[in-house]
Structure 1
Amino acid sequence: MTSSTQLDPRQTALVIVDLQNDFVSDGGAYHRGGAASDAARALPQRVAPVARALKQRGGFVAASQFTLWPDAQGEPMISPHLRNLRPFLRRGDFVAGSHGHATVAALDDLVDVSVWKVAYSAFFNTQLDWVLRRAGIEAVAICGIVTNGGVASTARDAHMRDYRVLVLGDGCAASTQAAHDAALADLCTVGEVTTCEAFQGRLGA
């Protein structure tokens, strides 16, 4: 579903899901484990102009940061499903405040607020909704990784909270093109799927 309706940038937020060093940068946890996809690594340079254009028009940029909290022994508390999927994760990965945990440098200076999350959705057990409400946000444009995980869950949670939802299709990535395409097709039921360029073109002065 696409639309040409103009957006009020002062009531619009870009939500960047999990574009962190441990996911996409050289030397990060996923790079070490051989799980950093080329599609995901290309996203920061594609998303940065979108964030910059929105901020120049008075809009808001938020980012989520996946976080692995340490237990009493300093070992990361990892959900069983994630441990099975990513057995390479270890002590020091995605630790709050670390370089790996940080949003990538190409985007970091453009982010107004970051929230730390422990599950797929950027809304689950975070203060994102509280922040967006107080910033006067009515529409959210979602991008990042992965399309069928964090992006999809965040979009659905935004929809349930009555935000106007847009998903920047070329600003997202999944482990395979098939998974990416299937997720975007499914997300048409809760919002608009558009492109980074088209979204920028709909931002009013």
Structure 2
Amino acid sequence: MSHAPIDIARSALLIVDLQNDFLDPEGAYGRAGQTAPAIAALPERVKPLADAIRAKGGYIISTQFTLVPGRGGEPLISPHLKELRPFLKKGDFQPGAWGHQLVDLLQPADFTVEKVAYSAFYQSRLEFVLKKAAIETLFVCGIVTNGGVASTVRDAHVRDFRTFVLADGCAAFSETTHETALKDLSSITRVITIADAIGMVTSA
């Protein structure tokens, strides 16, 4: 958890799962009434940092939860997820579909990485992309703090990436869950605000 200055050319905003199927009222979760105000507010909060990173030559990486279509287009859903989210159906989080895409406000991303589990590193090309682009530092935002964000940050930590978790750039379905997850993550990463991150980027 170094306080050394960052090299913006080797840094990225890692956006975890800010997709239409999660955030838009017409998406899979919105149709099922599965939302929270803190989650819906994230794109507007994160956009100034995304703009600052782009302006300084850093990267934007979108990791996108994916339901791989099987035969007949029916999604391959793990049993635990099917039990937790019985509303998920054919076409939800399908690669190439509108619901699978990063929300418009934060587009475009330099790299898009499909993810099939909580961690964006699990059986994905994320580590390959980071290494090939010489990215060393990640500003992490997205959903949910205790799920995709936490798992991805822990996997980044064991791979020796420098990480910053954006406290007001992440959210969960309850504020208590969000705050508990941030407290747990503080042992392996620096938890900062979006304003803090913009200051680091603009001064780099």
TM-score if structure 1 supplies the norm length? 0.95
Give the distance between the partners of 1:67 and 1:156, measured in 2 at CA. Answer: 20
Give the distance between the partners of 2:111 and 2:197, measured in 1 at CA. Answer: 21
Structure 1 pair 5–200 and aligned structure 2 pair: CA distance change class (3 A):
farther
Maintained 8 Å contact 1:121/1:157 = yes
Give the distance between the partners of 1:202 and 1:60, measured in 2 at CA. Answer: 15
Give the distance between the partners of 2:55 and 2:17, measured in 1 at CA. Answer: 23
Return the offset for 1:5. Answer: 4.2
Give the distance between the partners of 1:141 and 1:190, measured in 2 at CA. Answer: 14
Structure 1's consecutive aligned runs of 4 or more residues displaced over 6 angstroms after TM superposition are none
Q: Which residue of 2 aligns with 1:179?
A: 177
Q: Which residue of 2 aligns with 1:105?
A: 104
In structure 2, give the amino acid aligned to 1:67.
T
Maintained 8 Å contact 1:145/1:173 = yes
Alpha-carbon displacement from aligned partner over 1:132-178 (angstroms, at most 9, x marks no partner): 11211111111000000000011001001000111001000001000
Q: Which residue of 1 aligns with 2:64?
A: 65
Alpha-carbon displacement from aligned partner over 1:32-84 (angstroms, at most 9, x marks no partner): 11102211111011111111101111111101111111211321111111111
Give the distance between the partners of 2:8 and 2:72, measured in 1 at CA. Answer: 46
Give the distance between the partners of 1:28 and 1:35, measured in 2 at CA. Answer: 10
What percent identity do the matched residue pairs reach?
52
- Give the aligned CA root-mean-square deviation in angstroms: 1.3
Q: How many residues align?
A: 203
Residues 35-50 of structure 1: pairs in structure 2 closer than 5 A: 35-50=34-49
Return the offset for 1:10. Answer: 1.0
Q: Which residue of 2 aligns with 1:117?
A: 115
SS in 2 for 1:132: helix
In structure 1, give the amino acid aligned to 2:30.
H
In structure 2, give the amino acid aligned to 1:169.
A
Return the offset for 1:12. Answer: 1.0
Query: Where is the helix percentage greater, Structure 1 or Structure 2?
Result: 2
Alignment equivalent of 1:148, drawn from 121, 146, 149: 146
- What are the ranges of 5 or more consecutive residues in structure 2 without an aligned counterpart? none
SS in 1 for 2:83: helix
- What are the ranges of 5 or more consecutive residues in structure 1 without an aligned counterpart? none
Alignment equivalent of 1:188, drawn from 177, 186, 189: 186
Alpha-carbon displacement from aligned partner over 1:77-96 (angstroms, at most 9, x marks no partner): 11111111111111111111
Return the offset for 1:4. Answer: 5.8
Residues 26-41 of structure 1: pairs in structure 2 closer than 5 A: 26-41=25-40
Alpha-carbon displacement from aligned partner over 1:169-197 (angstroms, at most 9, x marks no partner): 10000010000000000001111000111
